[in-house]
Amino acid sequence: MRTMNLRQMPYTRRGSYMVLSHLSENYQGRGNAEGLHLRTIHNDANTPLVARVTLRGVACDEAWLDRTALHFGSGEKCIRCCYADADTLLIQGSAGTGMQLDFLTGSGPYDYIYEVQHDGRTLYMANCYKNNNRYLVDVQAGDCLLDQQWEESSSLYSRLDIGGAQGFLCVIREIETEWDQQLIRYDFEVARQQTEDDFLAFLAGMPALAPQYQEMGYMAAFLNWSSIVRPDGFLKREAMYMSKNWMTNVWSWDHCFNALALAYGQPRLAWDEWMIMADFQDASGRLPDSISDSKIIWNYCKPPVHGWALRRMLRYMTLTEEQTRQAYAFLEKWTRWWMNYRRMDGLYYYNHGNDSGWDNATAFSKLPPVATPELQADMIVQMQVLASLADQLGMTDAAARWREEAQAHLTLFLNKCFRDDLPVAIQCSTGEVIENESLLPYEVLVLGKTLPEPIRRKIIAVLKNDRFLTPFGYATESPSSPLYRDDGYWRGPIWAPSTMLLVDGLEQCGETELAREVSRRFVDMVCQSGFAENFNALTGAGLRDLAYTWTASVALVLAKDYLTE
């Protein structure tokens, strides 16, 4: 068994929008008590909280993961959970245990529980208007007592008390539209084995790691597998959310890093993960900032790292001719959007730090639009990838045009975005260099040996000293900067994507030892602190959302490519 910290990583499974988490008091201002909660990650819910789960007879502050089943307690007294399918959670208790489900009707109006008589049995439907869902509770072994107080059009409280002298088996099924009136008699062990088989098939497609990283690799795979949701609402494909804590979306650069980890042995899923934003590309070629089953956000965009990601994915997987055509069409529209809508005096620019993915980085300390060096580099890489795809498709004229465009932009970029051979960010409206201590400009290294040797040498010298490099990896703001903050989001903490891009650039430049050392520091930090959204650059402690998929994915890629012989 493995310790499962439900305060960090929620318990869920592939395809599911149902989550079990241990939440702190007043989670996100929701007014809840501390404890175990059933949550929904459907993004049309007014609140993610479905019900508070109170366990009896076992300690609920400690949990263990036995393959894909969750355990509370030990020995003869235990309560176990597993998913029978994406919409069905089983909770089984031994003799002397029980639980209460409090459906938190105080979170909004019209919530209550009503009895359903079917096939001579009594079931309970929790009508959760606050979640835009209903939950069918079927106690297949043991006893269930409904306790609620009705007032006008809602219940003041609605609780189910479940237990039994010989134990209990409770089935909780999410119902989005109408119940199909199918009552399946579940066997907990059969359901657990079916779920385990699904996970093990996923695990088999993950990269094989050195012995010291195999435990990390197992948990990274479990996090990524369990963070996938089934197609629903706006989502036409399976989607790996960034987290099933609170970052319950797909952002239009985050998905690229998850696709990298899938490329080794899950090519079909990797393709869907990389292409998922193409389903939402508008006529101009723009991509949304983020998507979910019920929300599409267009206020911002994200950087064009898609060409870079595909180039790296193709180390491990091949595309069919049809996939190559689709990839070319997607990247061409995306690249031309930047050319048509985000270029001033020849330089590509961001209208906000959020567009870069580095939301509050000090490179954006002056009013945008801002042209950053790494954006120019991403565009050049994407043009190079388009040229390569065009070659494969026999489109020789298009390939030549993209190479010419890439070379022309490289020439302009080298002329405008460097001072003393180091990259600088420029405020577009004034042409002024934005003084900053952000790591962001140094991501130009993704160009590798396309950069002139004097520039490469000077950038690598900075990356080798302690300006950004800490015992845990690259800080996103130099720790010597007056604007550095331990928990400053992009003003200090270490992040997975910035690490991945720089390691890739170092490798391309022939700095294999430094690439390996930075990878070791990052992966060892993840082994110590988990798969956090970001990390304190000076202590390695995890920050913000503590179960983040791109962190798991990048740790898998770095451990495989740089730390496994």
Confidence of residue 551 (pLDDT cuts 50, 70, 90): very high
Pairwise CA distance, residues 533 & 293, whole Å: 22
| pLDDT greater at residue 414 or residue 109 | 414
pLDDT of 222 reads 97
Span between the terminal Cα atoms of the chain, in Å: 28
Q: How far apart are CA 264 and CA 217, in angstroms?
A: 13
Tens-place pLDDT, residues 339-353: 999 999 999 999 999
Mean pLDDT calculated for residue range 276-303: 97
* Least confident among 69-83, 215-229, 508-522: 69-83
Residue 163 contacts by C-beta under 8 Å, 6 or more apart in sequence? 56, 93, 97, 98, 99, 142, 143
Inter-residue contact 199 to 67 (CB < 8 Å) = yes
- Going by pLDDT thresholds of 50, 70 and 90, the confidence category of residue 541 is very high
Q: What is the pLDDT of residue 405?
A: 98
Contact call for residues 19 and 39 (beta carbons, < 8 A):
yes
List the structure tokens of 289.
């900032």
What is the pLDDT at residue 329?
A: 98
Per the rule left: phi > 0, alpha: psi between -120 and 50, beta: everything else, 405 is alpha
Answer with the residue of higher pLDDT: 426 or 106.
426
* pLDDT, average across residues 117-132: 92
Q: Considering only residues 29 and 528, tell me which one the structure prediction assigns the higher pLDDT.
A: 528
Mapping DSSP onto H, E and C, the string for 429-444 reads CCCEEECCCECHHHHH
Is residue 60's pLDDT more than 80? no
* Confidence (pLDDT) at 108: 80
Selection from 84, 97, 263 nearest residue 165 by Cα: 97
Taking the CA atoms of the chain, what radius of gyration do you get in angstroms? Answer: 25
Q: What is the pLDDT of residue 114?
A: 95
pLDDT tens for 364-379 read 999 999 999 999 999 9
Residue 76 pLDDT: 83
**% of the chain surpassing 70 pLDDT:** 100
Supply the pLDDT for residue 278: 98
Strand spans (E) along 15-120: 18-23, 35-40, 49-56, 64-66, 69-74, 77-85, 88-93, 98-102, 112-118
Split at pLDDT 50, 70, 90, the class of 183 is: confident
The predicted-structure confidence for 234-247, as pLDDT tens digits, reads as follows: 999 999 999 999 99
Contact 490, 477 (CB under 8 A): yes
Confidence of residue 451 (pLDDT cuts 50, 70, 90): very high
User: Tell me, what's the pLDDT at 248?
Assistant: 96
Mean pLDDT of 143-164: 94
Mean pLDDT (whole number) for 493-520: 98
Beta strands at 290-291 and 296-297: parallel, antiparallel or unpaired: antiparallel
Q: How far apart are CA 137 and CA 133, in angstroms?
A: 13
pLDDT exceeds cutoff 80 at 49: yes
Question: 327-342 pLDDT, tens per residue?
Answer: 999 999 999 999 999 9
pLDDT higher than 80, residue 116 = yes
Per-residue confidence band for 74, with pLDDT thresholds at 50, 70 and 90? confident
Quick one: average pLDDT of 81-100? 96
Could you give all domains of the chain from N- to C-terminal order, each with its CATH number?
2-197 (2.70.98), 205-563 (1.50.10.10)
User: In this predicted structure, which of 49-58, 69-78, 447-456 has the lowest mean pLDDT?
Assistant: 69-78
Query: Is the per-residue pLDDT at 552 higher than 90?
Result: yes
The span from the CA of 163 to the CA of 288, in Å, is: 47
List pLDDT tens digits, range 1-19. Answer: 888 999 999 999 999 999 9
Reduced to 3 DSSP states, what percent helix, strand and coil does the chain have, rounded to the nearest 5? 35, 25, 40
Compute the average pLDDT of residues 117-129: 92
pLDDT digits (tens, 9 = 90+) for 416-431: 999 999 999 999 999 9
Query: What number is the average pLDDT over the span 517-531?
Result: 98
Beta strands in 333-402 (DSSP E): 343-344, 347-348, 370-371
The single-letter DSSP state of residue 554 is: H
- The yes-or-no verdict on residue 358 having pLDDT over 80 is yes
Predicted local distance difference test score (pLDDT) of residue 440 = 98
pLDDT at 177 > cutoff 90: no
Residue with tokens 């960010």: 425
> pLDDT at residue 209 above 80?
yes
Computed over every residue of the chain, the mean pLDDT equals 96
Average pLDDT over residues 469-489: 98
Per-residue confidence at 67, pLDDT binned at 50, 70, 90?
A: confident
Kindly compute the dihedral angle of the four CA atoms of residues 551, 553, 555, 557, in this order, to the nearest 10 degrees: -150
Residue 286 has pLDDT above 90, yes or no: yes
